[in-house]
Amino acid sequence: MPRVLITAGPTRESLDPVRFISNASSGQQGIALAEEALARGLDVDLVHGPLEWKTPAGATPHPVTTAEEMLAACRRLHPSCDYMIGAAAVSDYRPRDPARSKRKRDGAPWILELVPTEDILATLGKEKGKRVHAGFALETENLVDNAMRKLRSKSLDWIVANSPEAIGTATSRCILLGADGTRLELGVTSKREVARQLLDAMERTARLRGA
Ligand code: C5P
């Protein structure tokens, strides 16, 4: 059975043992992708950060917290997948030196130094082989141009471009863009419908590639 590796949800990057940097991702898109993939009979590895929602029965969950842990889990699972979809809102930065004990409230400013995390899709894109890869791009401006730039820099076959109101909601306005120049306006639609359209497109690419 073909296997899909899906990343979902946010990651958390520690400031100290009780505080962290994260984002508002709920993981709904990743879960909708996992449900749709299961309905198509695919095996699903779901690598996810802290979620507000239950992972679907039938998907193999791989819970992680940080971007570094998410990358390690994906590196381990990627060799045995046929499809990879990055739906996680991976934290792009992490504190350079998280405090080992809880920082006291002393009234002084807390100056943070943040360093970039590794790009999971771009890293695994270098070992893509015949696999079909897809990702998401949340853009506040030049939606299509910026999404196409990301598609190329991460060696993706497909990217779903959407605007920021998609975060934490059940619907979003999306455009599906392909490395082959395909552009499909999905309009305002459910995350499950986005999952259907994206998996249709990815399965088409796999057939063309003879994967
Ligand atoms: O570059 P940007 O974060 O906007 O790209 C978003 C896409 O890249 C999403 O598919 C996300 O899952 C993926 N990503 C990743 N590793 C990161 C940052 C983003 O895989 N460190």
Asked if residue 93 lies in contact with residue 13, where contact means CB atoms within 8 angstroms, the answer is yes
CA distances from 203 to 103, 151, 161, 174, 196 (A): 50, 18, 19, 19, 11
CA–centroid distance, 207 to ligand 1, in Å, is 26
Q: Provide the whole-model pTM.
A: 0.95
Q: Which atom of ligand 1 is nearest to the CA of 153?
A: 1
Please state, in angstroms and rounded to a whole number, the distance separating the CA atoms of residues 88 and 18: 22
CA–centroid distance, 84 to ligand 1, in Å, is 12
Whose Cα sits closest to atom 17 in ligand 1? Answer: 119
Whose Cα sits closest to atom 6 in ligand 1? Answer: 137
Is 146 tagged catalytic? no
**Mean pLDDT per 10-residue run, the chain (211 residues)?**
97 97 94 98 98 94 98 98 98 96 92 97 98 94 94 98 70 88 92 96 95 63
> What's residue 211's pLDDT?
63
Q: Which atom of ligand 1 is nearest to the CA of 117?
A: 21
120 lines ligand 1 (CB under 6 A): yes
> What's residue 48's pLDDT?
98
Q: Which atom of ligand 1 is nearest to the CA of 87?
A: 12
Q: Which atom of ligand 1 is nearest to the CA of 7?
A: 12
Q: What angle do CA 20, 116, 75 make, to 5 degrees?
A: 90
CA–centroid distance, 103 to ligand 1, in Å, is 30
| Element housing 69 (H / E) | helix 67-77
Catalytic entry in 23, 142, 146, 162:
23
Q: Which distant-in-sequence residues (6+ apart) come within 8 Å of 22 by Cβ?
A: 10, 11, 12, 13, 49, 50, 91
37 lines ligand 1 (CB under 6 A): no
